[in-house]
Amino acid sequence: MKTIHKFAGFFLLAAMLGLCNCGPKLPELPVAEVKPYFADAAKTKAIDTAFYEVKDAKGAKLGTVLYSSPYSDNVKGFNGPTPLLIALDADGRIKNVVLLENQETPNFAQRVVDGGLYEAWNGLTPDEALNKEVDAVSGATYTSNGVKKSLIARLKAYQKQVK
């Protein structure tokens, strides 16, 4: 029993001194999942469970991938959450906004794509995107508003993470 206590004490001390990586392991993001947004991607690095840096083979930062979940899990479209992937380029400007797997009616989700909502933020910094008024797509208002609110929730959380 004393041996167990010695090991527990050792790991506690090591964790407090930063000598071991004893905390929870962050999930990895496969490079294949970011290739559509960063063609030269060779490596991803988790910053948290919904924030990843993307690097090329030489280690240069290509950009960042943000997932709106869990920050926007309470935001609903017509049929439920509207989870997003937000890709930022190396300069921190929005490169892509993509609706991930969801329960929205496919017809309405496609109207949002066809209406250009996702491109409305391309080229903007997170600050600019948060201050931009973007109209909902006619005929898909609930889905559009869900997407807009999900993006806002995630970008606000991102701003806190990088300050």
Please tell me the distance from the alpha carbon of residue 163 to that of residue 108, in angstroms, as a whole number.
36
Predicted pLDDT of residue 73: 96
Task: Identify whether the C-beta of residue 82 lies closer than 8 Å to the C-beta of residue 102.
Answer: yes
Chain segment 83-130, per-residue pLDDT in tens: 999 999 999 999 999 999 999 999 999 999 999 999 999 999 999 999
Q: Helix, strand, coil % (nearest 5) of the chain?
A: 35, 20, 45
Classify residue 115 as left (phi > 0), alpha (psi -120 to 50) or beta: alpha
* Predicted confidence pLDDT, tens digits, the chain (163 residues): 444 444 444 444 444 445 555 557 888 999 999 999 999 999 999 999 999 999 999 999 999 999 999 999 999 999 999 999 999 999 999 999 999 999 999 999 999 999 999 999 999 999 999 999 999 999 999 999 999 999 999 999 999 999 8
- What are the backbone angles phi and psi of residue 80, rounded to the nearest 5°? 145, -165
Sequence letter at residue 35: K
Please tell me the distance from the alpha carbon of residue 105 to that of residue 35, in angstroms, as a whole number.
27
- What are the backbone angles phi and psi of residue 81, rounded to the nearest 5°? -60, 150
The residue to which tokens 């001390």 are assigned: 13
